[in-house]
A and B are shown apart, each in its own frame.
Chain A
């Protein structure tokens, strides 16, 4: 182990025995098994899950390394082992330096305790001493923006306040090795970018080693020059973040392989109200106007096809397609009031609406599409307005791309959309106010 290696992982393997946690056995059952199978102990061979498969890698002190992969690829298991929450089945990890891990913000917050009491409790749960918390209290409170409510029980906080306070405590941990799991996805957009800024400074200050696990590719790219890609518990790629990401996107299942990615069956979808008349049949998401898929590069064209049964019987019906983030707030929508749709088919047949978006304006992230067929609220009873509706009919991911052709990568700090613009410098007032002349930086 070189003296500058902070994390040294060798042949790390973790096998979960399925059913061990899901079904807790009662003593009676075990006794019964022992009696029936006195020799073998009667334990049924349990299904095993290979969560981590022989991982080996090193992280140098002061490095910021990202870990990406789909859900179930083993990212969280790796973090849990590195944070000593669960032991490996085989292999070793050598850690140099104090390790702090943020697997979830706000763990251990107690609703009955005040904000201040929770700061101390949560801080010491995360491994800070009372003296360290004293020293940083002011910073923590400032960062959290909950100042005047510090002596109020946390149960009276809004969920946003709770999350901000929790993140503030966590962000002021100062271990030599910091392990972070997607804690950035908290709070509103402005607080998120504040968190991101804080994370960046945590990583760049005084040579702290950071291991950042996420499936938000943009934040990984912002924080980490090097990234490990995990697929099915294996370390599939270890190298510069941009290469890891291309590997990641390449490894994602494509329509050609499975045939179903990007094709969403709406006829079978869960409809919240039973009185809906299921007209919506199918949604197909076509990145680059090509084969179905659920990953689109920012700035690329997209086509969305929606099959609707028997549209002709309701010629006055309105189609509404809205796109939102995964937290469900609507970002934009298309309706047939903006651009009329006239049913051309005969009654009893399917019609296909093809929506063409020439350029994906959303910044990289995960999004969802909701679709509904509605009647004019001025002409029917309120209860009859929605004829059919499928919320979260489809989900898709916008992946980073060099939209501006200059290497700039859009991320959450840029907002939610890219708005095309141009600017130029012109000669200003002959007598400029001090400091107001040069505004070329953003």
Chain B
């Protein structure tokens, strides 16, 4: 037995986040750890990774007591942690990132200096282990997300780990890149390294792991071998109830075209993109990371410029577009990066929710704000999104959970009464309960006359919600499927093989 946890408890203030966790991990074993947001996954991993100590309970590594007081202490004991947010310094080279804390040194007139030759050799060796063949002197800022992830893993391997913890490693990877990562994980498993794999993507978990552990409300509700699980049972254990009708249906009455995009081109990003969206239609965009989907909607919304092509909004040719005009036209845009582009984290819920619709609550030359009206309207929408909160005007939005934060961002856009809602990865990193509520909100909006353009990396989600799925690859649209044609493997294949254009 490599790692053993006995009755581990952790409290923050009065809140008990972990209520006595007991489990063990063997050499060369991959454990999938799943649970809704707030179930205690991160807390548990932070305990293992040495970010903070447990309140009670014992941990053993190789039979010895294991109580790391820092990430470095954990690393030196052989526990490496690959965070969802990579811990790399883009301004330094790959090699420097690999050795940031223990540069090989040599003496030079009694002065210890970095040994650049040894570093290069060692770095190449480590990069080789993860299948990277690039120059270690390249700066990390020049790398795209997938190789960055591999550099992070190489860094972990440099410390000869016995256990590697992966926290949502595939969120910024394409399907193909994720597949390569899985191969690497299996290779490491063969070398006897044990791994804990945390993910919301249950398909991946089932494909990859040996055993599954499910956390709910700080308790380990079930841990068993993989073969005793399927998606349905996993979901059921995670939320503690059956999830019937995961994708609720909606009334179908698709109307006239509201948005027509023709030959839209932004050099270096997208090329000759042509599609349309009808009233009360949900159109999904699927493709690899970097296929140009986010770039395309940013151009549509007016955040980035386009070079040629035309955008027709409700029969009118648009020659100029920016966020202010878009909001006036009734277009709303929920971005992928919630913290950096969606929220004002150090402000209260009210200020966050009212921001985009402020124009509705002002009057006169000085744009005086009607606070009472603003508060009533926000309250209404926040109630509609089923956000759990304590106080609209006192509580900072940063104190909400990820799912509730996303609902606030959604409420912000719903307050602008959008006719077209653009959603970029709206359920990224959100637990299943909140996901389902967001799906319900989307359906509600569409039934009330709006249209939705939705980007997602989860194909199931698109297939469950959309009337049409458009696939993009390398900045171009390569295929389009109507609901009747939805078939998982076909869509995946088109997304992966760029040249099989059906359109």
A binds B: no
